[in-house]
Amino acid sequence: MRMRRFYYVGNDLSDLGKAAQDLHNAGFSEHQVHVLSQQDAELEKRRLHEVNPFAKRDILNAGLMGAAIGAVLATLILLSGVVFKAQSTLDWLPFVLLSVVVFFFSAWEGGFYGFQNSSAEFKRFGDSLARGYHVLLVDAEPCMREKIDHIMAYHASLLEAGEGAARPGWVIASQRNIEAFVKSMP
C-alpha cells in the first residue's frame, strides 16, 4: 500500500510541537513526522524534526532533467563522430570524451539549478511560510488517516492543508533501521 503525506498548517509552534508529540506517542516514528518552517532555530530548540534541507530544494528533479538533456547532447556528439567518419579508436576518443564531459556537466548544472529552486511539493506553502506559518507533515498509510484525524482534532490551531505522495514505506523503515544500528554501535 502506498504511503500518503498529510499536511497541516498552523502559526502556533507550541501546539504544533504538542501535535507532533501526540503523533509520536500514538506510534508514528520521528521519520514519519516532519515540520517545514522558516524558523529552523526554533524547531531545533523545541526538538522538532525538521524537513531535510535537500528535500526543500528541487535538486533531484532538476538533476535528472539535466542528465536527460546531457544524454541527448552526448548522443548528438557521438552521432557527429559518425558524420565525420571516425574509424579508429584514436578518431573516436575526442567524441567520446566530449560526450562524457557534456553529460556530467549537464547533470551537475541541472542539480545546481535545482538547488536554487524550491521543491514543487513545498512551493504551494511558500506564501504561508512567508507569513510565519509552519507546516506539519505526516507520512502514513491511508488506513491511518482516521487515527491522525482523531489526534489532530485536539489541536484546533492546526488546519488541514491537503495530502500528497509520501516517501515509500521502505525508505522510512530503512531510516529507522539505520538509526537503531547507529545507536547500538559503541
Tens of pLDDT, residues 74-132: 999 999 998 888 888 888 899 999 999 999 999 999 999 998 888 877 788 888 888 88
Q: Are residues 82 and 129 in the same domain?
A: no
Residues 49 and 101 in one domain: no
pLDDT at 18 over 70: yes
Region 6-18: what's the mean pLDDT? 88
Domain boundary among 115, 147, 163: 115
| Same-domain pairing of 47 and 65 | no
Answer yes or no: do 75 and 25 share one domain: no
Query: Rounded to whole angstroms, how far apart are CA atoms 118 and 124?
Result: 10
Residues 46 and 134 placed together within one structural domain of the fold: yes
pLDDT exceeds cutoff 80 at 179: no
Query: Among residues 115, 145, 162, which one ends one of the domains?
Result: 115
Residue 1 has pLDDT above 70, yes or no: no
If asked whether residues 155 and 75 sit together in one domain, one would say: no
Same domain, 40 and 26: yes
In this structure, are 102 and 129 located in the same domain? no
Domain CATH code at residue 170: 3.30.70
pLDDT at 68 over 90: yes
pLDDT of residue 159: 87
Query: 48 with 64, same domain?
Result: no
- Range of the structural domain that residue 175 is part of: 4-53+123-184
What pTM was estimated for this model as a whole? 0.71
- Output the pLDDT for position 167: 67
- Report how many domains make up the chain: 2
Pick the more confident residue, 143 or 100.
100
Residue 8: pLDDT band with limits 50, 70, 90: very high
Sheet of 33-36: strand order equals 33-36, 134-140, 4-10, 159-165
**Residue 49 sits in the same domain as residue 21:** yes
- 42 and 133 fall within a common domain: yes
User: pLDDT tens across 144-175, in order?
Assistant: 889 999 999 898 888 888 888 776 667 777 77
Sign of the alpha-carbon torsion through 73, 76, 80, 81: positive
